[in-house]
Amino acid sequence: MILYYLINAIFARDIFSVFLTFPLFVLVITAVMNRKSKYFDIHEMVWIIVYIFFVIEPVQAIADGHITDGPVDVLYFTRYELMEAMVTIFIFFSLYLYNSVICYRQDHGFRTENILIGQRMMLVAFVINVFAFVGVVVTSGGITNLLAYRLEKDVSSTDFISFPILTLQISTAFIACIAHIGAPRNFKYISTLIIAIILILLGISQNPRNAARYFVLASWYPVVYIFMRGKISSAIAYAGIFFGLIIVMPLMNLVGREGVSLDEAARLTDFGGGVLRVPFVDVFDMSVYNIAYMESHNWYFGLKSLSIILFLLPRNIWTDKQVWTGYEMGAILEDTKVAGTYNLSSFITVDFYADGGLFGVVIGSSIFLYIAHRYVLQSKVTLNGVDLQGAIITASVPILIRGPFGGNVYLTFAELVLVYLMQKASRIGSK
């Protein structure tokens, strides 16, 4: 991480970008070097994504007041706006590190409860999984539409209910995989056959050709994590993340969104250029634009943050529910032809800042991170020795930091709820 930063600093187009990112770089290195876990976990995923999104990308992109090769590259930003955006991010992750350290000290030595997932739960998960897959096919407009490139899909034939059914398919696949690694020897052959069927069905519904990159990661990382029994080394994880960003993500973007073949995508992609300009990363860009955007808008005094907390509440019930700031800014950029889409990156501090500037960032980040660490990140339950909750959240970190948080947290939330219910059922069944 240090060497890669130094290489990018040497080739930086604007020396100001190095001074701008250095404090956060130090924070990231401090956090990584003081990690207590022997294996890759949620916190390391957070720090590597912070490193790429908010340290490396600004160094690579900032040049003479512009953030190049992104959705706002035609706009000019002052150094004050660049610094204030970085301050909002530094505040959030300083508080994140503080909460991580405090929670570790308080929970150190806490005995984790391990729930055994047996044959019965595996068979139940298998049956549900097959029916869920059939439901995904039906509600997605048939197998042809399900398998189509994302660009070619007939969205009008896809029912909204396909999302919760897909979540059920993904979650039961995780439970079945966990049951498989704990299956007794006399059940191993049947168990292997069941897992093969489940993973084939998962591969049909969630693959780089027909699914969003986030859904592919959220579906397959926990599977890998389960079969590795959570013992993924940090070095392998870091190498995989960089390989994914520089090689896999550009290919998936062309294959899934443009509908080109894998061979053609490989010919069109400049893999070497990704080393000094990580592609498709624009989170810092939008954080800076938010500073300029709010100069001509009034504060929302908590309404933006409240819309995140109550993300499950439909707008037809809460008619005055605020649109997440990322979508709001994206719509303006799309209308003015600055950007080609409204669906742009938007880290959660964008909404906190819209609620009350830096004061809003401090208050919003403090409350959000306290809740996250107390009730979500500190998992105390494993299934057959595997921290499935941790795997699900780890796979979700990139898209949740990319944002908008309120618009992307649905899958993570639904998976955690379904896994919790099956976990409860297993605990009751074992009594």
Residue 270 or residue 79, greater confidence: 79
Token reading at 311: 């993300």
Token reading at 83: 């610094």
> Residue 36 class from Cβ within 10 Å (0-12 exposed, 13-18 middle, 19+ buried)?
exposed
- The winner for highest mean pLDDT among 91-105, 200-214, 263-277 is 200-214
pLDDT given at position 105: 53
pTM: 0.89
pLDDT given at position 155: 77
Helix (H) or strand (E) holding 423: helix 405-429
Taking a C-beta distance cutoff of 8 angstroms, is the pair 33, 97 a contact?
no
Summarize the confidence of residues 96-110 as an average pLDDT.
Answer: 67
pLDDT given at position 35: 77
Task: Report how far residue 55's alpha carbon sits from residue 40's, in angstroms, rounded to the nearest whole number.
Answer: 20
Summarize the confidence of residues 378-397 as an average pLDDT.
Answer: 86
Helix (H, G, I), strand (E, B), or coil: what is residue 391? helix
pLDDT given at position 119: 85
End-to-end CA distance of the chain: 48
**DSSP count for the chain of H helices, then E strands:** 20, 4
Task: Report how far residue 422's alpha carbon sits from residue 219's, in angstroms, rounded to the nearest whole number.
Answer: 17
pLDDT in tens, 230-267: 889 888 888 888 887 777 777 766 666 666 666 666 66
Summarize the confidence of residues 77-92 as an average pLDDT.
Answer: 95
Taking a C-beta distance cutoff of 8 angstroms, is the pair 315, 327 a contact?
no
Summarize the confidence of residues 393-401 as an average pLDDT.
Answer: 92
Taking a C-beta distance cutoff of 8 angstroms, is the pair 195, 176 a contact?
yes
Residue 243 or residue 365, greater confidence: 365
What mean pLDDT, rounded, does the chain reach?
85
pLDDT given at position 118: 83
Q: Would you place residue 271 in the very low, low, confident or very high pLDDT band (cuts 50, 70, 90)?
A: low
Task: Report how far residue 66's alpha carbon sits from residue 20's, in angstroms, rounded to the nearest whole number.
Answer: 14
Percentage, residues of the chain above pLDDT 70: 89
Q: Which of 369, 372, 368 is nearest to 416 (CA)?
A: 372
pLDDT given at position 99: 84
Taking a C-beta distance cutoff of 8 angstroms, is the pair 407, 326 a contact?
yes
Taking a C-beta distance cutoff of 8 angstroms, is the pair 136, 165 a contact?
yes
Task: Report how far residue 41's alpha carbon sits from residue 237's, in angstroms, rounded to the nearest whole number.
Answer: 10
pLDDT given at position 384: 87
Q: Would you place residue 96 in the very low, low, confident or very high pLDDT band (cuts 50, 70, 90)?
A: very high
pLDDT given at position 366: 93
Q: How many CA atoms lie within 13 A of 382 on its CB side?
A: 13
Q: Which of 51, 3, 56 is nearest to 27 (CA)?
A: 51
Q: What are the two backbone dihedrals, phi and then psi, of residue 140, each rounded to the nearest 5 degrees?
A: -95, 10
Percentage, residues of the chain above pLDDT 90: 40
385 vs 114, 242, 321, CA distance in Å?
6, 29, 41
pLDDT in tens, 116-130: 888 888 999 999 999
Task: Report how far residue 355's alpha carbon sits from residue 373's, in angstroms, rounded to the nearest whole number.
Answer: 23
Domain range list for the chain: 114-230+386-431
Lowest mean pLDDT, pick from 184-188, 214-218, 353-357, 360-364: 184-188
pLDDT given at position 109: 46
Q: How many CA atoms lie within 13 A of 358 on its CB side?
A: 9
Neighbours of 121 (CB within 10 A): 23
Peptide bond into 404 cis (omega under 30): yes
pLDDT in tens, 280-324: 788 999 999 999 888 888 898 889 988 888 888 888 888 888 888
Lowest mean pLDDT, pick from 328-332, 350-354, 394-398: 328-332
Angle between helix 79-107 and 15-33 (nearest 10): 0
